[in-house]
């Protein structure tokens, strides 16, 4: 099987972690006869602004639209963060998500026992934590009309029934493959969009009578995620709430650096990126944790290329590397990005111990 994978390293630690993920994908293809991956790198974010003045150049978008899957590092950083800037790196990422129609952002989270001790929570609270966030990715306040004058600003939050239906159907469908429980998170006591979400999710739930649905307000959910995280299975929510809750939940897993994501639309192609950002504070130092990007590569194999067995091999290799204590400094270790990547490649049995430059 041939697959055309577009790689968008982006900014900050983006290039460091995508290099690790590409090395793992390359090893996975070579270690499993019959697969041939073509990687092509393109500009996005601040790097693209510097090179050609726009965060999502036409050539990048065209390549992504023609790809079987897109692997992205991160965009943004202090260089491009002036609140009055006319153009921002993040616009490139949002434009790409919208143009690819990847409305369902999956953010799975499990807690490795070895990392549980790093959590500020009591370790027994972390037993059996196995969450799947399904974050709506192409609507809400991120994409509504924006206004700004010297004295006021607005971000419109708009959702259509169709947008809510398609993402919640995905959440229920994934719940069927898991523990058959969906928690929908909103702010229905205040927001009209949330009330539309609530009634639409209730209606979609009738198509899945074997799946249990509960609604939870986002403010109390922020607390419940930390006090009884093992009580939840699939958590579906709108764009902004999903962004915030998943970074919060990363504290359960030990570091923002280990969480992957898959962004899916109606077709097979998808956009894969770790949930963390460009981490300007550690960029260029070899300190970035590559596991979020490597696990995103595993999701790419699972969801876009139907290579479930190889995805599981990669996830098992990552677990083994954590177990063996090859950890970057965000997880209390001393290993570099390349050392962790080499350890994963070793566990995959490729015999390759150095990351190709
Ligand atoms: P961040 O996720 O970049 O960093 C938050 C903290 O987590 C930092 O201390 C950082 O060092 C640490 N961290 C993050 N990833 C890590 C990793 N892989 N290994 C070790 N430590 C890691 O969030 P921020 O500082 O709020 O944002 C920085 C920039 O990144 C902003 O411009 C923001 O817009 C952008 N951002 C981009 C994406 C994306 O491209 N998908 C996601 C989030 C933030
Ligand atoms: C994420 C990021 C992005 C988001 C930013 C960089 C636009 O925080 O992927 O979680 O808010 O979606
Ligand atoms: Mn985020």
**For the CA of 246, the nearest atom of ligand 2:** 10
- pLDDT computed for residue 353 by the predictor: 43
Domain range for 68: 1-110+267-357
Q: Which residue's CA lies nearest to atom 12 of ligand 2?
A: 243
Q: Residues 233, 176: contact at Cβ < 8 Å?
A: no
Domain identity same for 156 and 241: yes
Domain identity same for 79 and 144: no
- pLDDT computed for residue 291 by the predictor: 98
Map residue 206 onto helix, strand or coil: coil
Active site residue 142: yes
Distance 314 CA to ligand 3 centre (A): 24
Domain identity same for 139 and 87: no
In a domain, 347, yes or no: yes
- pLDDT computed for residue 34 by the predictor: 82
Q: Residues 146, 94: contact at Cβ < 8 Å?
A: no
Domain identity same for 218 and 272: no
In a domain, 82, yes or no: yes
Distance 244 CA to ligand 1 centre (A): 13
Domain identity same for 207 and 301: no
Distance 75 CA to ligand 2 centre (A): 9
Q: In this structure, what DSSP letter does residue 69 have? A: E
Residues with Cβ within 6 A of ligand 1? 13, 17, 74-77, 81, 90, 93, 256-257, 273, 276-282, 288-289, 292, 328, 330
Domain end residue (candidates: 253, 285, 307): 253
Nearest to 173 by CA among 140, 210, 200: 210
Domain end residue (candidates: 253, 277, 305): 253
Q: Which ligand sits closest to the CA of 74? A: 1
Residue 40 CB contacts under 8 Å (≥ 6 apart), including other chains? 4, 5, 6, 7, 63
In a domain, 260, yes or no: no
Q: Which of 142, 159, 232, 272 is catalytic?
A: 142
Q: Residues 112, 254: contact at Cβ < 8 Å?
A: yes
Tens-digit pLDDT profile for residues 245-265: 999 999 999 999 999 999 999
**How many domains in the chain?**
2
Nearest to 17 by CA among 315, 285, 308, 324: 285
Domain identity same for 240 and 284: no
Query: In angstroms, rounded to a whole number, what is the distance separating the alpha carbons of residues 75 and 89?
Result: 6
What's the CATH code of the domain at 75? 3.40.718.10
Domain identity same for 180 and 214: yes
Burial of 210 (0-12, 13-18, 19+ CB in 10 A): exposed
* Global confidence as pTM: 0.97
Domain identity same for 87 and 140: no
Q: Residues 62, 28: contact at Cβ < 8 Å?
A: no
Domain end residue (candidates: 253, 284, 318): 253
Q: Residues 270, 264: contact at Cβ < 8 Å?
A: yes
Q: Which ligand sits closest to the CA of 244? A: 3
Tokens of 193: 């969009």
Domain identity same for 141 and 246: yes
| pLDDT, one tens digit for every residue, the chain (357 residues) | 899 999 999 999 999 999 999 999 999 988 888 899 999 999 999 999 999 999 999 999 999 999 999 999 999 999 999 999 999 999 999 999 999 999 999 999 999 999 998 888 899 999 999 999 999 999 999 999 999 999 999 999 999 999 999 999 999 999 999 999 999 999 999 999 999 999 999 999 999 999 999 999 999 999 999 999 999 999 999 999 999 999 999 999 999 999 999 999 999 999 999 999 999 999 999 999 999 999 999 999 999 999 999 999 999 999 999 999 999 999 999 999 999 999 999 999 864 444 444
In a domain, 298, yes or no: yes
């Amino acid at each position: 099987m041939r697959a055309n994978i577009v790689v968008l390293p982006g900014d900050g630690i983006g290039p460091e972690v995508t290099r690790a993920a590409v090395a793992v994908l390359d090893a996975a293809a070579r270690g499993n006869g019959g697969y041939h991956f073509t990687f092509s790198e393109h500009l996005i974010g601040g790097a693209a602004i510097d090179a050609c003045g726009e965060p999502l150049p036409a050539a990048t978008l065209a390549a992504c639209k023609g790809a079987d899957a897109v692997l992205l590092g991160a965009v943004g950083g202090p260089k491009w963060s002036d609140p009055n800037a006319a153009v921002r790196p993040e616009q490139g990422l949002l434009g790409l998500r919208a143009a690819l129609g990847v409305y369902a952002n999956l953010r799975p989270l499990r807690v490795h026992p070895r990392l549980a001790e790093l959590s500020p929570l009591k370790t027994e609270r972390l037993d059996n934590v196995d969450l799947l966030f399904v974050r709506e990715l192409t609507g809400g306040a991120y994409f509504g009309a924006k206004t700004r004058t010297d004295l006021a600003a607005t971000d419109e939050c708009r959702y259509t029934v169709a947008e809510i239906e398609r993402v919640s159907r995905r959440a229920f469908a994934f719940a069927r493959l898991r523990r058959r429980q969906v928690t929908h998170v909103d702010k229905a006591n205040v927001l009209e969009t949330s009330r539309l979400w609530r009634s639409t999710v209730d209606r979609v739930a009738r198509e899945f009578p074997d799946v249990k649905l509960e609604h939870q307000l986002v403010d109390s959910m922020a607390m419940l995620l930390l006090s009884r995280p093992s009580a939840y299975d699939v958590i579906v929510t709108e764009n902004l709430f999903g962004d915030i809750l998943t970074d919060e939940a990363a504290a359960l897993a030990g570091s923002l650096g280990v969480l992957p994501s898959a962004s899916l639309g109606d077709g097979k192609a998808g956009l894969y990126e770790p949930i963390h950002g460009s981490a300007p504070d550690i960029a260029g130092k070899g300190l970035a944790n590559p596991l979020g990007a490597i696990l995103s590569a595993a999701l790419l194999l699972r969801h876009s290329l139907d290579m479930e067995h190889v995805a599981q091999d990669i996830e098992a290799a990552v677990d083994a590397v954590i177990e063996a204590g090859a950890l970057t400094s965000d997880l209390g270790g001393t290993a570099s990005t390349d050392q962790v990547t080499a350890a994963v490649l070793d566990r995959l049995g490729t015999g390759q111990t150095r990351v190709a430059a």
